[in-house]
Amino acid sequence: MWVKNLFVSNFRNFARLDLEFSPRLNLFWGDNGEGKTNFLESLYCLGHGTSFRTKTDEELIKWGQPSLYLKGEGFKSERLFTYEVVLDRKISKVRKVDSHRVGLRNPTKWLWMVTFSPEDIWLVKGYPQQRRDFLDAKLPLFNFRYSYLRSSYLRVLSQRNHLFFLKRIRKSINQELDIWDEQLVELGSKIVKLRLEGLEKLEFFFKEIYPRVMGRDSKIGLIYRSSFLKDPTPIISEEEIIEIFRKELKLKRKKELELETTLVGPHRDDFLILADGIDLRCFGSQGEQRIATLSLKLAELGLVSLREGEHPVTLLDDVASELDPKRQKLLLDLVKEQSQVFITTTHLSLFEPSFTKEGWLYQVKDKRVKRKK
């Protein structure tokens, strides 16, 4: 996969951009605050229809403007497609592929991209929600309806939680809870099953990459931690998950009524990142957490490549400043071998001259992006 060109109108701080790209290496440099990350975000939005930084679409529209427009051509499965995104403050977002409107959650129409940024370290050291979101973002690879499944589950969860507040004015809500429980169990069990299978596939690549990046052998693993399964493994059937989930909801109902929230389900799950038996979130050094994050993102590249049959586009946002020279070179060599790469940096001097000579160079300055030939 690779992006051939991009036209931008009123995205973040950019009024207008019209750029062509190298199918291999593209390097963007400029001072902080000039919009380098905004540019990568526009690329990601072109490919996926969403941002990797915010869930509030209106934040993407340039201040004072009513709408934004993205258009670009990209190769996927050796075919050239035209991608468009239209976002208006008053009208629902529209995404088109070859002039045909497509669903925003339809992964078969995505031009897959994998992002790397300094903030990714929160994937390891942050809250469970961040790890759930990371894992969930990969699962449309294995079930193209996963995004719909997840949104349906969250909608049922919201309705069930709202019911707890109604108990203050009703004598009993048990009968209504039974109805919502069945929907929660059915949708939630499918999510857990897909997560277990997806995490196993991600772990396959993670186990290979982490020791290589660390520079020594390590016994590492990704362990799913469920709110109701004691020892979850990918081999457990969906029927078994349903049975255990249903029983646990009944056991927790009294406490849920007291706390007025749902205590059981995939919305409360997490996964552990272990190295030599140590939970890196709690006990890993910042260096180990950074390497684990990098390894997870590289594993993501492998996972997308395995499923799609070709390498995704790689977006590297100022990662050179966060890595020592050895691991910086390892990362760049790995991604450069696999796919089209977009890299942002504040200083070209962070890269070897031989590396910068390989790609197309762009300067980001004064709300413009200009290629340097």
Q: What is the pLDDT of residues 182-233, one digit of tens each?
A: 999 999 999 999 999 999 999 999 999 999 888 889 899 999 999 999 989 9
What's the whole-number mean pLDDT along residues 28-51? 95
**Which residues are CB-neighbours of 321 under 8 A, at least 6 positions away?**
118, 345, 346, 350
The answer to the question of residue 210 being in a domain is no
Give the residue among 251, 247, 193 at the shortest CA–CA distance from 224: 193
**What is the pLDDT confidence band of residue 181, given thresholds at 50, 70 and 90?**
very high
Q: 132 to each of 29, 271, 358, how far by Cα in Å?
A: 32, 8, 37
Give the tens place of pLDDT for each residue, 196-210. Answer: 999 999 999 999 999
Q: Determine, yes or no, domain membership for 68.
A: yes
Q: Is residue 185 part of a domain?
A: no
Look at residue 258 and tell me whether its pLDDT is greater than 70.
yes
Phi, psi of 137 (to 5 degrees): -65, -20
pLDDT in tens, 299-353: 999 999 988 999 999 999 998 777 777 888 888 888 877 789 999 999 888 888 8
The number of helix segments (H) and strand segments (E) in the chain equals 10, 15
d(CA 3, CA 75): 6
Quick check: 271 and 225 in contact, CB under 8 A?
A: yes
Give CA 302 to chain center in angstroms: 14
CB 319 within 8 A of CB 347: no
Q: Which residue has the higher pLDDT, 57 or 325?
A: 57
DSSP single-letter state for residue 84 = E
Query: Would you say residue 173 has pLDDT above 70?
Result: yes
Token pair of 254 as six digits: 């009294």
CB atoms within 10 A of CB 12: 20
Q: Which of 289, 251, 268, 355 is nearest to 120 (CA)?
A: 289
Average pLDDT of the residues in 67-91: 96
Domain membership flag for residue 18: yes
Amino acid sitting at position 86: V
The 10s digit of each residue's pLDDT in 143-172 is: 999 999 999 999 999 999 999 888 776 777
- Mean pLDDT of all residues belonging to the chain: 93
Positive or negative CA dihedral for 5, 11, 17, 18?
Answer: positive
Q: Per residue in 262-298, pLDDT tens? A: 999 999 999 999 999 999 999 999 889 989 999 999 9
Region 44-51: mean pLDDT is 96
Are 291 and 210 within 8 A, CB to CB?
yes
| C-beta of residue 145 within 8 angstroms of C-beta of residue 139 | no
pLDDT surpassing 90 at residue 134: yes
Say what the pTM is.
0.91
149 is a domain residue? no
Looking at residue 329, what is its pLDDT?
80
What gap in Å lies between CA 238 and CA 223, rounded to an integer? 18
Alpha helices in the chain (DSSP H): 36-48, 122-125, 128-136, 146-166, 174-214, 238-259, 280-283, 286-308, 325-338, 353-356
47: containing domain? 1-112+312-373
Query: Does a structural domain hold residue 121?
Result: no
Q: Residues 120, 132: contact at Cβ < 8 Å?
A: no
Which of 334, 323, 329, 324 is CA-nearest to residue 355? 329
**56 inside domain:** yes
pLDDT computed for residue 358 by the predictor: 87
For the chain, how many structural domains are there in total?
1
Four-residue CA torsion sign, 164, 126, 55, 24: negative
CATH code (residue 16):
3.40.50.300
The pLDDT value given to residue 169: 66
Calpha distance 357→179 (Å, rounded): 63
In eight-state DSSP terms, residue 222 is E
Residue 100 in any domain: the answer is: yes
